[in-house]
Amino acid sequence: MSRRYAVGLSALFCLFLGGMLVLHLGLPDREKSEVENRTLQQVPSFSIGAVLDGSFMEQTEDYIADQFPGRDGWTEGKARAEQLLGKKEFHGVYLCGDRLIAKVEEPDQELLEKDLSYVKALAEKTDIPVYLGLIPSAAEIWKDRLPAGAQSLDQAAFIHSMAQETGLPTVDYLSVLQKHAGEEIFYRTDHHWTSLGAYYGYTAVLKALGMEPLALSSFTPQRVTEDFNGTLYSRSGVHWLTPDAIDLYVKENDFTVSSWRTGKEEAGELYDLEWLESKDKYSLFLGGNQPLCVIKNPQAQGGKILLVRDSYADSLAPFLATAFSEVHLVDLRHYKDSLSDYAKEQGIDAILLSYSVPNFLEDTTRGFLAK
């Protein structure tokens, strides 16, 4: 390489960096990335303490990376380049043809043992039947679609071991999802099950409780969007797949929904369609995360069920509301009161701990089960 050529390349690189710096200084900082669905780092506050403990430099690096001009395009470009080099895993997400599937890591045994003790403590504190339902993710149901050599937890074995460890009656989500593995039961760009997958989950719940579910033909799905790019789209940087569709199966006409999103009871919705205008379209189910939500159906023949749950239950709840007079949904990430006291006060007939396997492994809030 000649000296003139090297100098020219260096000059072009400096001009590029200078142009990016000018753009960075000239453009307003973004508070949130809609593509990545997360809050972006803002200008860090300077203090001697922050400099000494290294947090100021870390936050400054995060700020520069998060606010870099055209970040979303660069993120996709990086993923595209890595794909051309044969890479199949992007930030813990596998690219499997026309869909994305999240890798599930091995459990932290210390955390798992604590969680099991909390689950057992809840069952011992109440006379109400407590069921355990662990939902396998797409990495288990569609493991045959994973790239050759892909590593992911054996969720089937894990689910069976948790049933034995707790000794609780179980909801067999695993078998019903395996039976319908050839159907679109998980989104292609998101980690949740689809409404169809949630329907099959509902049939598993009712079977465990000795009830008869409605046939799939009883529902007429309504498509509300074909432009859903979910959590795996955001996490992976793989932004070139066809977006998902979201279908709604259950009509909400006969239901009363109450939400404690702000700490006090207020009217809720089975489907909050305003979320269709946002990136996080899955939150249209019940309106997203909240400490407590109660759905009442005076026409239902079943009793009252309490779900201690993760976000998979948001799309499961409408189906359950067709069978139970009251469906109580508690999210331990936001609800901190005694569950056993709540269940007794509300006259709950059955308690279901319903979590996807990845969330069961990662959630650190189940200590509240023992209150």
17-41: per-residue pLDDT in tens?
Answer: 455 455 445 556 655 555 544 455 6
The span from the CA of 186 to the CA of 91, in Å, is 19
Q: Is a pLDDT exceeding 90 seen at residue 366?
A: no
Backbone angles phi, psi at 101, to 5 degrees: -135, 125
Out of 9-13, 91-95, 189-193, 287-291, pick the least confident.
9-13
Q: Which residue in this structure is represented by tokens 């990136």? A: 279
138-157: per-residue pLDDT in tens?
Answer: 999 999 999 999 999 999 99
List, in order, residues 6 or more apart from 152 with CB less than 8 Å away.
103, 104, 139, 140, 143, 146
pLDDT score of 101:
97
Ranges of each domain in the chain: 3-81, 99-370
Nearest to 211 by CA among 128, 300, 316: 300
Statement: the pTM of the whole predicted model exceeds 0.85: no
* pLDDT class of 8 with cuts at 50, 70, 90: low
pLDDT score of 346:
97
pLDDT score of 36:
47
* pLDDT class of 14 with cuts at 50, 70, 90: low
Out of 76-90, 177-191, 296-310, pick the least confident.
76-90
Determine the straight-line distance between the first and last CA of the chain, rounded to whole angstroms: 71
Give the containing element (helix H, strand E) for 352.
strand 350-356
Distance of alpha carbon 157 from the chain centroid: 22
pLDDT score of 16:
46
Q: Are strands 244-248 and 222-228 parallel, antiparallel or unpaired?
A: antiparallel
Q: Is 333 exposed, middle or buried (0-12, 13-18, 19+ CB in 10 A)?
A: middle
CB 270 within 8 A of CB 227: no
* pLDDT class of 162 with cuts at 50, 70, 90: very high
Average pLDDT of the chain, as a whole number: 86
Cβ atoms within 10 Å of 99's Cβ, excluding its own: 21
CB 322 within 8 A of CB 279: no
Nearest to 99 by CA among 186, 12, 163, 4: 186
221-233: per-residue pLDDT in tens?
Answer: 999 999 999 999 9
Q: Is a pLDDT exceeding 70 seen at residue 324?
A: yes
